[in-house]
């Protein structure tokens, strides 16, 4: 592709945005067989200068402000879509919700209005990078550090939207754009078009969503057509997206919409740790809780889910901190956390047994009998508790031994004389 200056007709490569001769904004060249009358025209405050992509709902253009030369994306509904009231209302709601919220992880919507050819346009910030769906299209797990950064950023975006009372209701990898930055992917959550609209035009919008969108990330309550959809439906979708980032596989995959919804209502995906060895059982538990069939059993908010993921990976701190950390810093922190977890815990020495003090020994003073004399000293007694031990004097014992010895000697002498 090439571009030309509308003033001097000088031709330039497609990546040259301004004319080198007069500084005018260049416009993408066209062929007669693929002519787009919007190129070179102004929609709102911006000139449409190039075609970027075509989607199911509309065509996306590159736009430039004629004075500031700021670069934007201009999304215009296809002619047949612009004739559908629900599609137009959804498109308008996409603008209103994104324009009202000011968050670094939600796409910034600038203008909305009708086009001269009977359609409608939406101007938003120009994003460079790729959708999350393309990042996971190779069916391989993303690096854990990248998953943590992306999950925390999505959770910050949802937390902000939920604080306004906005429930996304159509969160999926196609609606999560990853901008290229030096720190790692920077999330922009797109397409808040189903915000508040589902309850107002439920049946028709559901049919449209089935045709144009993907049911893989739909919560059980949405699958059954319940009207009490709240922020926990977005939590379910984020849990399914987290599973896909960690395993490279869609959590509820089947060949038809009916079978997908049956799985969502009745089955759970295999544990992520059985597919990706980098996942732990603690991470399995986080995903399991996020994907509970009963919304009351899930995390109450996207923040709680992301915070639980951090804890399961051995990381502390709030999700805003980790959303801003570079991917390299997060990878280093994960290594450090793993090393800390692998260290053997110090063995605490056993507490010494408690030694109870011995009972006090009371020594009784010797009692002196009135009949005792110096030659016959009184016995001494020792009392310990109620036990009394009597220790006799050694003097009478010695006298007895002497008497016995003398008696034996006399008997031996008499025996000799009788012979």
- Which residues participate in catalysis according to the annotation? 170
| HEC string for 170-229 | CCCHHHEEEECCCCCCEEEECCCCCCCHHHHCHHHHHHHHHHHCCCCCCCHHHHCCCCCC
- Helices in 28-131 by DSSP H: which ranges? 79-82, 85-100
Q: What is the DSSP string of 7-43?
A: TT--EEETT--B-TTT-PBPEE---GGG--TTTT-EE
Distance CA 169, CA 165 (A): 12
As a residue count, the chain comes to: 419
Question: For 81, how many CA atoms within 13 A lie in the half-sphere containing its CB?
Answer: 20
Distance CA 30, CA 19 (A): 17
Q: What's 260's DSSP letter?
A: H
Q: Which of 364, 392, 388, 400 is nearest to 376 (CA)?
A: 392
Distance CA 171, CA 216 (A): 10
Backbone angles phi and psi of 369, in degrees to 5 = -75, 145
Backbone angles phi and psi of 164, in degrees to 5 = -90, -5
The answer to whether 220 and 246 are in contact (CB under 8 A) is no
Distance CA 26, CA 121 (A): 21
Q: What's 254's DSSP letter?
A: -
Q: What's the token pair of residue 247? A: 């395993």
Q: What is the dihedral of CA 80, 222, 234, 276, to 10 degrees?
A: -100
Distance CA 101, CA 108 (A): 8
């Amino acid at each position: 592709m090439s571009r030309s200056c509308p003033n001097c007709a000088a031709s330039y490569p497609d990546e040259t945005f301004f004319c080198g001769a007069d500084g005018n904004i260049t416009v993408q060249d066209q062929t007669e067989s693929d002519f787009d009358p919007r190129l070179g025209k102004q929609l709102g405050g911006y000139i449409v200068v190039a075609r970027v992509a075509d989607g199911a709902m509309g065509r996306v253009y590159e736009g430039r402000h004629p004075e500031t030369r700021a670069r934007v994306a201009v999304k215009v509904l296809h002619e047949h879509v612009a004739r559908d009231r629900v599609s137009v209302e959804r498109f308008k709601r996409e603008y209103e919700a994104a324009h009202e919220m000011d968050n670094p992880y939600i796409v910034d919507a600038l203008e909305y209005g009708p086009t001269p050819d009977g359609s409608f346009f939406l101007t938003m910030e120009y994003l460079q990078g790729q959708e999350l769906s393309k990042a996971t299209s190779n069916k391989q797990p993303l690096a854990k550090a990248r998953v943590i950064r992306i999950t925390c950023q999505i959770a910050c975006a949802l937390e902000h939207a939920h604080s306004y009372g906005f429930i996304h209701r159509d969160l999926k990898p196609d609606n999560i754009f990853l901008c290229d930055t030096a720190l790692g992917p920077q999330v922009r959550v797109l397409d808040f078009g189903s915000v508040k609209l589902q309850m107002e035009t439920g049946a028709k919008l559901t049919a449209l969503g089935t045709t144009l969108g993907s049911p893989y990330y739909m919560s059980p309550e949405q699958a059954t057509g319940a009207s009490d959809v709240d922020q926990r439906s977005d939590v379910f979708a984020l849990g399914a997206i987290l599973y896909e980032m960690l395993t490279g596989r869609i959590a509820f995959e089947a060949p038809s919409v009916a079978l997908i919804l049956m799985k969502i209502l009745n089955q759970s995906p295999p544990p992520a740790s059985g597919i990706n060895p980098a996942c732990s059982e603690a991470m399995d538990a986080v995903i399991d809780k996020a994907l509970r069939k009963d919304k009351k059993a899930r995390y109450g908010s996207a923040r709680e889910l992301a915070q639980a993921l951090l804890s399961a990976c051995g990381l502390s701190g709030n999700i805003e901190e980790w959303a801003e950390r570079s991917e390299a810093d997060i990878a280093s922190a994960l290594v450090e956390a793993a090393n800390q977890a692998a260290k053997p815990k110090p063995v605490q020495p056993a507490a010494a047994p408690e030694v109870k003090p011995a009972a006090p020994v009371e020594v009784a003073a010797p009692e002196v009998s009135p009949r005792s004399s110096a030659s016959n000293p009184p016995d001494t007694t020792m009392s310990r508790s109620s036990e009394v031990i009597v220790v006799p004097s050694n003097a009478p014992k010695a006298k007895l031994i002497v008497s016995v010895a003398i008696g034996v000697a006399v008997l031996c002498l008499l025996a000799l004389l009788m012979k």
